[in-house]
Amino acid sequence: MSDLHFKTISELAAMLAAGETTSVEITQAVIDRTAAVDAQVKAFLSTDAEDALAQAKASDERRAAGEALGPLDGIPIGIKDTLAVKDQPLRCASKMLENYVSPYDATCIVKLREAGAVIWGRLNMDEFAMGSSTENSAYQTTANPWNLETIPGGSSGGSAAAMAAGEAIATLGTDTGGSIRQPAALCGVVGMKPTYGLISRYGLVAFASSLDQVGPFARTVEDAAILMEAMLGKDDLDSTSIAPQGETNYAAALKEKKGPWKLGVPQEFFGEGIDPEVKANIEKAIDWYKSQGCEIVDISLPHSELAVPVYYIVATAEASSNLARFDGVRYSHRSEEAKDAMTLFTKSRGEGFGDEVKRRIILGTYVLSSGYYDAYYLRAQKVRRLILSDFEKAFEQVDAILTPTSPTPAFKRGERADDPLAMYLSDVYTISVNLAGLPAISVPSGFTKSGLPIGLQVIGKAFGEADMFAVANAFEKAHDYAQQTPTL
């Protein structure tokens, strides 16, 4: 049973049902694996083995009593440090929340618990989800398990690296501009961002409220579908959550939907800045779909070139306001130097936030300020609508859109750390999807010559998760990329 930690949810669910293993055994395997490799990978900010094993034991007792809850019952799932788990640290990889413990569960955590999942550990990330390499964590730099010298992507780098290294059976991340899909691509795992509103944001520490979504990392598309089914739904605690529309039995639908599909390929996503190996890899994947009888349609998303600037206006504006609550008054870092209310704010925030967070707060404050609001924020919102309408036009012709997830494979640590603009371009293919509120998934599509993973992005229609999963699943099942694991 030494490889339990690399098995999929559906494999383990079958084994648990057949009595071939127990949740305690699976959870212990994950704990042992983490103990063995996390000194190198540094995916976790903290773990609570005792708590995880207690949940696993409860799962085994349910099963023994004939009350097993479904495919997630007893499966250890790692959680990004920006999602609230009751009585566990919630630091968002920031000094600002160094000693903060959440008094409540996020809605997605409540739903996973209701499905019997074992909530496991706190996964590293870029501070407050701002970054694309996980180097902006105030605590540690996570390594890409495929090459420890390279970054795992970000901001959900810990969630992606833990999957690649076998430190969890699945993990949760959050995706504001590509923070699930880009690290999934760079770490060779499946990562998915749902339609905006499909999963409640309650308990997700807000970075950019109109863009943030919770989503799963998994070994297979099917596993991601299982996790989505457990977490989706309208939540009374999140006014922006929406009751699902259309097919939501994703895992079952996967096996029935076989295509062929009409698939769009936007030329704008294959131009300047793309790594030649990535380009060739994605073109090969597109050819595979063609070979399966899919119709490939050249489409245009003309406003997508504006996605990065629009994103850095909208997201930073919202962030500048969302992060105002970290002020040293109630629960966040409080400066010892504070002498009055004003220095309590300025010193606590000056000490508590890292450089990238400060940069974005300053940018967001600027674009909202009197005299600049119309030129930046309001105009960005107008362009955002144009980006959405590009997608809507495209989806009149096609069932899904295929693009690279990231323009490059994992880059070396420190390579872009001092060049924010180069870092921002890591998300050039993922950002427009958040601005349009659409679902998208990154599925492993091969490796570079140097052995770094590459990801294919499948973008679906709003609430078109079932088709999106099916398109991604067809590719995954025809290839063995998802089954490969790094050597640690």
Query: By the 8 A CB rule, do 5 and 167 touch?
Result: yes
- The answer to whether 345 contacts another protein (rule: CB under 8 A) is yes
- Decide: is 370 part of the binding site for another protein (CB under 8 A): yes
- Least Å distance between CB 202 and another protein? 5
Q: How many Å apart are CA 240 and CA 194, to the nearest integer?
A: 13
Q: Is 53 a residue that touches another protein (CB under 8 A)? A: no
Which is closer to another protein, CB of 274 or CB of 323?
323
Q: CB-wise, 320 or 432, nearer to another protein?
A: 320
The nearest distance, CB 235 to another protein, in angstroms, is: 9
Query: Quick check: 204 and 106 in contact, CB under 8 A?
Result: yes
> Residues near 207 by Cβ (< 8 Å), separated by ≥ 6?
82, 128, 129, 130, 174, 176, 315, 318, 319, 322
SS3 call for 215: strand
According to DSSP, residue 296 is labeled E
Question: 362: exposed, middle or buried (C-beta count within 10 Å: 0-12, 13-18, 19+)?
Answer: exposed
Please name the residues in contact with 38: beta carbons below 8 A apart, sequence gap of 6 or more: 44, 165, 167
Min dist CB 246 to another protein, Å, is 21
Residue 179 designated active-site = yes
Question: Is position 327 an interface residue for another protein (rule: CB under 8 A)?
Answer: yes
Whether residue 133 is preceded by a cis peptide bond, meaning omega within 30 degrees of 0, is: no
Cα–Cα distances (Å) from 79 to 51, 136, 160, 164, 233, in that order, read: 14, 18, 11, 15, 19
Q: Could you tell me the two tokens for 211?
A: 């863009």
Burial class of residue 421, CB neighbours in 10 A (0-12, 13-18, 19+): exposed
Contact 335, 329 (CB under 8 A): no
Question: Which range of residues in 48-56, 195-203, 391-399, 440-448 is near another protein by CB under 8 A?
Answer: 195-203
Catalytic residue among 132, 137, 155, 241: 155
Cβ nearer to another protein, comparing 7 with 201? 201
- Which one of 344, 383, 388, 488 is in contact with another protein (CB under 8 A)? 344
Contact of 429 with 178, CB cutoff 8 Å: yes
Six token digits for residue 121: 């550990």
Angle at which helix 23-41 crosses helix 49-64, to 10 degrees, equals 160
Q: How is residue 460 annotated by DSSP?
A: -
Total residues interacting with another protein, rule: CB under 8 A: 43
Report the C-alpha gap between 195 and 460 in whole angstroms: 9
Contact 396, 297 (CB under 8 A): no
Assess 195 for contact with another protein (CB under 8 A): no
- Of 198-206, 221-229, 246-254, 294-302: span binding another protein (CB under 8 A): 198-206
Residues 224-283 that bind another protein (CB under 8 A): 236-240
Peptide bond into 244 cis (omega under 30): no
Active-site entry in 132, 133, 159, 179: 179
Minimum distance from CB of 271 to another protein (Å)? Answer: 31
List the one residue from 10, 147, 209, 343 that touches another protein (CB under 8 A).
209
Q: Which helix (H) or strand (E) holds 332?
A: none
Complex with another protein: residue 311 or 377, whichever CB lies closer: 377
Q: Which residue stretch of 40-48, 272-280, 340-348, 350-358 sits at the interface with another protein (rule: CB under 8 A)?
A: 340-348
Report the nearest approach of another protein to the CB of residue 346 (Å).
9
Q: Which of residues 81-100 bind another protein (CB under 8 A)?
A: 83-84, 90, 92, 97, 100
Residue type, 394: A
Cα–Cα distance for residue pair 118/112, rounded to 1 Å: 8
Please pick, from the candidates 103, 246, 271, 414, the single residue that binds another protein as defined by CB under 8 A: 103
| In contact, 244 and 233? CB cutoff 8 Å | yes
Q: Which stretch binds another protein (CB under 8 A): 24-32, 47-55, 147-155, 312-320?
A: 312-320
Query: In this chain, which of 34, 136, 142, 320 binds another protein, going by CB under 8 A?
Result: 320
The minimum distance between CB 372 and another protein, in angstroms, equals: 10
Q: Does 335 bind another protein (CB under 8 A)?
A: no
Sole window of 43-51, 59-67, 163-171, 313-321 interacting with another protein (rule: CB under 8 A): 313-321
Q: Is 210 in the site for another protein (CB under 8 A)?
A: yes
To the nearest whole angstrom, how small is the minimum distance from the Cβ of residue 114 to another protein? Answer: 18
Q: Does 106 bind another protein (CB under 8 A)?
A: yes
Q: How far apart are the C-alpha atoms of 216 and 458, rounded to whole Å?
A: 15
The single residue of 7, 42, 80, 193 carrying the catalytic annotation is: 80
Q: Which stretch binds another protein (CB under 8 A): 51-59, 110-118, 318-326, 478-486?
A: 318-326
| Burial zone of 104 (CB within 10 Å; 0-12 exposed, 13-18 middle, 19+ buried) | middle
Q: Is 155 a catalytic residue?
A: yes
Q: Which residues bind another protein (CB under 8 A)?
A: 83-84, 90, 92, 97, 100, 102-104, 106, 201-206, 208-210, 236-240, 317-318, 320-321, 324-325, 327, 329-331, 341, 344-345, 365, 368-370, 373, 377
Active-site residue set: 80, 155, 179
